[in-house]
Structure 1
Amino acid sequence: MTDRYTVVSADCHAGADLLDYKPYLEKRYHDDFDAWAATYVNPYEDLVADAADRNWNSDRRTAELEADGIVAEVVFPNTIPPFFPSASLMAPAPAPEEYERRWAGLRAHNRWLADFCDLLPGRRAGVAQILLNDVDEAVAEIRRTKDAGLTGGILLPGAPPGSGVPELYSGTYDPIWAVCDELGVPVNHHGGSASPPLGDEPAARAVFMVETTWFSHRALWHLIFGGAFRRHPGLRLVLTEQGSGWIPGVVEMLDYYHGRLVAAATRASTAESKFGAGLAAAMGKGPSEVWRDNCFVGASFMRPHEVPLRDRIGLDKIMWGSDYPHDEGTAPYSREGLRIAYAGLPRDEVAAMVGGNAARVYGFDLGLLDPIAAVHGPTVDGIAEPLKEVPAGATSPAFAPGGSVRVW
């Protein structure tokens, strides 16, 4: 047994430089792309800075991740795909007149991502993007990207109030759940991707920070109460970069409402009985059973106060992530991020949370990764040592003092 951990980051981000998407667009969009790109102003400072090439420079990225102790990654989007006003992770559902071009832009990103993952075989699980405006198109793209070798599953867009697309509990999306179940494709829902537009006032930005994870959590109860897991029992949902400490309490709350509404539906007509009508038949298993059988958490830069909840969350559910290359991520201090969370825990538990669970969910071959980790991975003894001092340059919330976050 090696004395190092095999670390798989279940939350990293990448994308092409703006003009490099053009070869991946269908040719009929090239003139439109040239006109759009000529006037586009990138709103994100980190995507125009010298460090921006960490998103697409494969050699630099590999070297920095290995130096940080990470040997494989799940790759979510980050840069601006063609015809989008902002990063696609944050962009709202397109209006009908915008849909065709933005859908072309996302497919270009998916093609680029397949090539990018091929540069490092077996070590990048690319997450394909879809839109919810046209379910048949989405299903076709899921099949295509699976065949193209993207093993990270799909990124489920948010459907916040006012988005113009049906809510996620809608039966409209059943063909998407069906094909993901059929192909063994994980459905990923990333934090920040489901908030409604709030404007740009200081208060709006603060409200966004308070509410954004809650809006992302909604996917869990929408799919549970919508019966997606009853109809497609092999469907897997991964909730990424939206914390993990909330899960036990929310699952208990969902169990409470499920039991209360189902019971009410069996009684004589009351005000509450209407809310539970048909729920038991539509859902099948209760929420805690669905969490146990179908759900996982991409617990990016897991915080120390969340770790004592690991048994209630499920040790087989938790997948640590560095969030590279974002400022809020743990790089280049991921070893310290692992220490502040996991020091003193049993080795087998740490191994599962930092790599084993992600390998199982996303299909990484540990036979390939373990020898690489034997060179680059953090040592077992190193992670076991409690962190006494936060690195001066650390910017991740993983290291935030105060509240219930303990810092040694």
Structure 2
Amino acid sequence: MPEWEGPERYTVISADCHGGGEIHEYRAYLPARLHEEFDRWVQGYKVPYPDLLGDNGKRNWDSDRRLRDLEDDGVVAEVIYPNTVPPFFPKASLTDQPPAANAGDLQLRWEGLKAHNRWMVDFCAATPGRRAGIVQIMLHDLDAAIEEVKWAAAAGLTGGVLLPGTPPGSGLVPLWEYDHYEPLWRTCEELGVPVNHHTGSAAPPMGDSLIDKVVFLTEVSWWAHRAFTHLIVSGTMDRHPDLQFVFTEQGTAWIPEECRRLDYYWARMGKAVGSQEYEWGHTLVNSMSLKPSEYWARQCHVGASFQRPAEAALRYEVGVDRVMWGSDYPHKEASHPFSREALQLTYNSIDPHEVAQMVGGNAAKLYGFDLDALAPIAAKVGPLVEQVYKPLAIEDIPKGADKCPAFVGLPGAVRVKP
């Protein structure tokens, strides 16, 4: 192992976890004028996801249980994306922001989303310095969204803002329309608020058949990747150079190729006189100061959920300072409770200085975690640096670990310890 003068254990911060309130908890966070409306609505509400039921569901809102789970998994702090269903929503808000049937319905959903944000403030306050909650917004009313971002920053939600997608058919203004969204970008930059784009909300609505769901699974990340291009061509990254963007649970391997692809088009649009690319794109390209790959290096980060070994091999192309590992707790595909093995599988034989950045340091810098304050906890529960450096033997992969993509595609016959 290369010379390492750091602590014996890594300080692991998961940049991709999920949580939310139990549905009845949200009532206290709604305006009193909506309590009767909520009581009527909740009577007909049925939990749409099995993993939100029973003991599994409690992982989203039981603070003590959640803390134990994460520490047992070697994780000392987390960035929390939404997971449960807010009041008046038909399903989880992370993956579905459908246009409302009427303005009243839309307004109710907005109040439900704000209730979630206020719940999140209290949930993060229960463990000071160990949770960075993300504020949810809707893009149907930009002024209201901006006010919510300001409120969240003042209230202590250090995870930044969750940027919804603008899929075709949603009726929302596309993200490449800079003039429309400029007030939001300006506000986030002034407040130092990261803009997070999680996979799920950018895809068009899926059908109910199993084939529909398979298509959704195979395309959902691709739809999310498009936001990177849209934010570049809009001029947003050029005009707001201090604004930071995070692309989470979308994989890592797509980034180098996408940067190369876009750089190719930028070169064609900028210099290939007489080409179709030049005719359509030279005005745009000549108005910008950087290539797409340079915008990535300056302003973008990847929430590298359950990163695979092959993706870690691309860390120099992505940027070692751009990668933020995540466990995706408590989702079915999460590395929990096998995160120690997942980290060893992915980061073995890699310089511990680089690993320390990717598994905690980068997230701490972006989201404002205090590494010194977390160090005593990490000294008790964090993965051993020496252990992570060793290759993980196939026979040491725990039974059931292949639910997590980090363990998928390993060469040879997979054997697991009981």
Distance 1:59 1:330 in 2: 20
- Deviation, 1:384, is 1.4
Aligned to 1:57: 62
SS of aligned partner of 1:325: coil
Aligned to 2:130: 123
Aligned partner of 2:80 among 70, 75, 90: 75
1:296 aligns with 2:301: yes
- Residue identity (%): 52
Conserved in 2, the CA contact under 8 Å of 1:226 and 1:283?
A: no
State the one-letter code of the partner of 1:312: E
- Deviation, 1:402, is 4.8
Residues 279-328 of structure 1: per-residue CA shift (max 9 Å, x gap): 02544321011001000000000001111111000000000000011110
What does residue range 254-273 of structure 1 map to in structure 2 within 5 Å? Answer: 254-264=262-272, 267=273, 271-273=276-278
Aligned to 2:116: 109
Q: Per the alignment, do residues 247 and 232 of structure 1 end up closer, same or farther by CA in structure 2, a change over 3 Å counting?
A: same
Aligned partner of 1:181 among 189, 204, 223: 189
Aligned to 2:292: 287
Aligned to 2:94: 89
State the one-letter code of the partner of 2:164: P
Q: Per the alignment, do residues 152 and 306 of structure 1 end up closer, same or farther by CA in structure 2, a change over 3 Å counting?
A: same
Q: Per the alignment, do residues 199 and 161 of structure 1 end up closer, same or farther by CA in structure 2, a change over 3 Å counting?
A: same
Aligned to 2:15: 10
Distance 1:286 1:24 in 2: 45
State the one-letter code of the partner of 1:128: V
Aligned to 1:237: 245
Aligned to 1:44: 49
Conserved in 2, the CA contact under 8 Å of 1:229 and 1:294?
A: yes
Aligned to 2:157: 150
Aligned partner of 1:319 among 296, 302, 324: 324
Q: CA RMSD in A?
A: 1.8
- Deviation, 1:405, is 12
1:194 aligns with 2:202: yes
Distance 2:16 2:413 in 1: 21
Deviates more, 1:137-146 or 1:43-52: 43-52
SS of aligned partner of 2:321: coil
Conserved in 2, the CA contact under 8 Å of 1:174 and 1:228?
A: yes
Aligned partner of 1:278 among 262, 278, 283: 283
What does residue range 204-219 of structure 1 map to in structure 2 within 5 Å? Answer: 204-219=212-227
State the one-letter code of the partner of 1:203: I
Distance 1:193 1:347 in 2: 35
Residues 39-97 of structure 1: per-residue CA shift (max 9 Å, x gap): 01121000113211110000010011011100000000000001110000011343352
Conserved in 2, the CA contact under 8 Å of 1:154 and 1:187?
A: yes
Aligned to 2:143: 136
Distance 2:246 2:62 in 1: 27
State the one-letter code of the partner of 2:350: L
State the one-letter code of the partner of 2:172: V
Conserved in 2, the CA contact under 8 Å of 1:340 and 1:407?
A: no
Conserved in 1, the CA contact under 8 Å of 2:96 and 2:205?
A: no
What does residue range 373-384 of structure 1 map to in structure 2 within 5 Å? Answer: 373-384=378-389
Moved over 2 A (4+): 92-98, 270-274, 280-284, 401-408
Gaps of 5+ in 2: 1-5
- Deviation, 1:198, is 2.3
Conserved in 2, the CA contact under 8 Å of 1:128 and 1:154?
A: yes
Aligned to 1:162: 169
- Deviation, 1:262, is 2.5
Conserved in 2, the CA contact under 8 Å of 1:93 and 1:131?
A: no
Aligned partner of 1:220 among 204, 228, 232: 228
Distance 1:205 1:322 in 2: 23
SS of aligned partner of 1:252: helix
TM-score of the superposed pair, with normalisation by structure 1: 0.96
Distance 1:36 1:275 in 2: 51
**Size of the alignment, in residue pairs?**
405
- Deviation, 1:181, is 0.6
State the one-letter code of the partner of 1:228: T
Aligned to 2:3: none
TM-score of the superposed pair, with normalisation by structure 2: 0.94
State the one-letter code of the partner of 1:138: A
Deviates more, 1:88-97 or 1:215-224: 88-97
Deviates more, 1:162-171 or 1:112-121: 162-171
SS of aligned partner of 1:293: helix
